[in-house]
């Protein structure tokens, strides 16, 4: 049995990230939560104030023999705008920043390389502002945030914001999707 790895990524609302990564082959678990702040065990309400320093993140457990950290980063940069500081669309605040919380020196090096490659391709008019920091702590989000898109597919935010991101991943990475059970 191969080793599992963990990636922790912030790129706006964690509901969007969770839904986009859940269907990828090799992804075994996606958990919404908080990272990058200075308060232990923050609540959603605490994080939403923007005063704790946390970002909404997803922690992805994956099989690197099936999907690499680099593959996950390419999906990540497809589903959010890494050039907007502390915002994604209408979601504004430090909790919505773009950040990669790396778990190893190898993840840091891979993230630096991927960011440099994407910048060189000039995919965006503005520079990438994604933070690159070591993960110091991850705090799982409250139960009602987990699997949000699957549990609330007709909710307005899910329809307007999350569904298009999920559709984009399913279109661009069709060959990397899990087969329906």
Spans of all domains in the chain: 5-176
Compute the half-sphere exposure of residue 47: CA atoms within 13 Å on the CB side of its CA: 26
Residue 98: closest CA among 49, 54, 55, 39: 55
46 pLDDT band (50/70/90 cuts)?
Answer: very high
Q: Which of 13, 16, 48, 158 is catalytic?
A: 13
Q: Cα–Cα distance between 42 and 87 in angstroms, integer?
A: 20
60 pLDDT band (50/70/90 cuts)?
Answer: very high
The position carrying tokens 């087969």 is 179
In the residue annotation, 13 being an active-site residue is answered as yes
- pLDDT single digits (tens) 116-156: 999 999 989 999 999 999 999 999 999 999 999 999 999 99
Using alpha carbons only, how large is the chain's radius of gyration in Å?
A: 15
Q: Cα–Cα distance between 176 and 74 in angstroms, integer?
A: 12
- pLDDT single digits (tens) 5-35: 999 999 999 999 999 999 999 999 999 999 9
- pLDDT single digits (tens) 86-122: 998 888 999 999 999 999 999 999 999 999 999 999 9
Level-2 CATH architecture, domain 5-176: 2-Layer Sandwich (3.30)
Mean pLDDT to the nearest integer, 45-53 = 94
pLDDT for 30: 97
Contact 23, 177 (CB under 8 A): yes
Cα 15 off chain centre by: 9
Contact 12, 91 (CB under 8 A): yes
The encoded tokens of residue 103 equal 């778990």
Residue 71: closest CA among 105, 33, 25: 25
């Amino acid at each position: 049995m191969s080793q599992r790895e963990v990636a922790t990524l912030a790129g706006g609302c964690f509901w969007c990230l969770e839904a986009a990564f859940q269907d990828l082959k090799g992804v075994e678990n996606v958990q919404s939560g908080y990272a990058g702040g200075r308060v232990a065990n923050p609540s959603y309400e605490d994080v939403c104030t923007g005063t704790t320093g946390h970002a909404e993140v997803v922690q992805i457990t994956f099989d690197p023999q099936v999907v690499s950290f680099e593959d996950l980063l390419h999906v990540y940069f497809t589903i959010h705008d890494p050039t907007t500081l502390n915002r994604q669309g209408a979601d504004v605040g430090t909790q919505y920043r773009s950040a990669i919380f790396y778990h190893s020196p190898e993840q840091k090096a891979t993230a630096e390389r991927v960011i440099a490659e994407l910048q060189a391709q000039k995919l965006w008019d503005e520079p990438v502002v994604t933070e690159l920091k070591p993960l110091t702590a991850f705090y799982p989000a409250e139960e009602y945030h987990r699997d949000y898109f699957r549990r609330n597919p007709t909710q307005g935010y899910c329809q307007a914001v999350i569904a298009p991101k999920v559709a984009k991943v399913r279109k661009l990475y069709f060959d990397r999707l899990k087969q329906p059970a």
